[in-house]
Structure 1
Amino acid sequence: MKIQGKMFLWLSVFILAVAILYGVWSKEPAGTTALFLAFGLTVMVGYYLAFTARRVDAMAQDDQEADVADEAGEVGFFSPHSWQPLALGIGSAFAFLAVAVGWWLMYFSAPLILFGIFGWVYEYYRGENQNQ
């Protein structure tokens, strides 16, 4: 975790230099403000990672001699054959399309989004996947 903190802090130094150069040369306030905000965000993330690295044990990524498998482990449980993300994705696509085309398209996207969310949440409470 120490290396990520250092990477973000060095990235923030680079973004600060770019923000200053961009602000001086372009005199464009929107891009300069965005770069300074990006600098602030990278400083916050870098400080958090560096501060947290002092409190936790050294991880495999902090060791130069570590293998990829040293940090391996269970990531989490994911539904292997779920159709709900497809319904949620199509409904979300229609919702974003409704902003560009017309709000009437939300009448079609809202049921798909609700079907996808409720189906995903309650997927293991019914059917063949139901816990005994």
Structure 2
Amino acid sequence: MKAEAWVFGITALFVAVVTPAYWFLSEDWTGTSALTMTALLFGMVTLYLGFHASKMDARPEDRKEGEIAEGAGELGFFPPYSWWPLWCALALGVIVYGTALAAWWLVFIGFTIGAVVSCGFIFEYYRGEHAH
């Protein structure tokens, strides 16, 4: 994770250097605020990754003498296809559309559909073909 911390740290440093230059060239409060927050968020991620990199054992890709075979094995669970994100997006679309039209009955319907669809999305691996 040291490599990731370096990438985020260099990016935070770059954005921190660019922010005052942006302010002097444009005098735009919005962009300057966004760049400042970006630098702070990159710095926060850098601190997090650096802290955890110092506490954990080096991964094979972090060591110069690391071998490819050392990284073999299960990398994690990667879910197969799922239709639930589509239905979640449609429910959110109904909510946003109802809000834009000030049709609060449509917003209520969207939240109801969203609650059902969210439950389906959360519990999709507890039943059916891909149950654990």
Number of paired residues? 130
User: Which amino acid is 1:23 matched to?
Assistant: W
**CA distance in structure 2 between the partners assigned to 1:69 and 1:90 by the alignment:** 44
User: Which amino acid is 2:119 matched to?
Assistant: F
User: Aligned in 2, Cα 1:38/1:77: closer, same or farther, shift over 3 Å?
Assistant: closer
Q: Give aligned-pair identity as a percent.
A: 28
By how many angstroms is 1:121 displaced? Answer: 4.0
- TM-score computed with the length of structure 1 as normaliser: 0.77
* Range that drifts further, 31-40 or 55-64: 55-64
**CA distance in structure 2 between the partners assigned to 1:102 and 1:29 by the alignment:** 32
By how many angstroms is 1:17 displaced? Answer: 1.1
Q: 2:89 is matched with which residue? A: 89
Q: 2:45 is matched with which residue? A: 45
Q: 2:54 is matched with which residue? A: 54
CA RMSD of aligned residues (A): 3.0
User: Which amino acid is 1:19 matched to?
Assistant: T
What are the within-5 Å matches in structure 2 for residues 1-132 of structure 1? 1-63=1-63, 66-67=67-68, 70=71, 73-76=74-77, 78=79, 80=80, 82-104=82-104, 105-123=106-124
Q: Which runs of 5+ in 2 are unaligned?
A: none
- TM-score computed with the length of structure 2 as normaliser: 0.77
By how many angstroms is 1:89 displaced? Answer: 2.2
User: Aligned in 2, Cα 1:37/1:66: closer, same or farther, shift over 3 Å?
Assistant: farther
Classify the secondary structure of the residue corresponding to 1:107. helix
User: Aligned in 2, Cα 1:39/1:127: closer, same or farther, shift over 3 Å?
Assistant: closer
By how many angstroms is 1:85 displaced? Answer: 3.2
Matched-pair contact (CA < 8 Å) for 2:84–2:121: yes
Matched-pair contact (CA < 8 Å) for 1:95–1:110: yes
Q: Which runs of 5+ in 1 are unaligned?
A: none
Matched-pair contact (CA < 8 Å) for 2:60–2:70: no
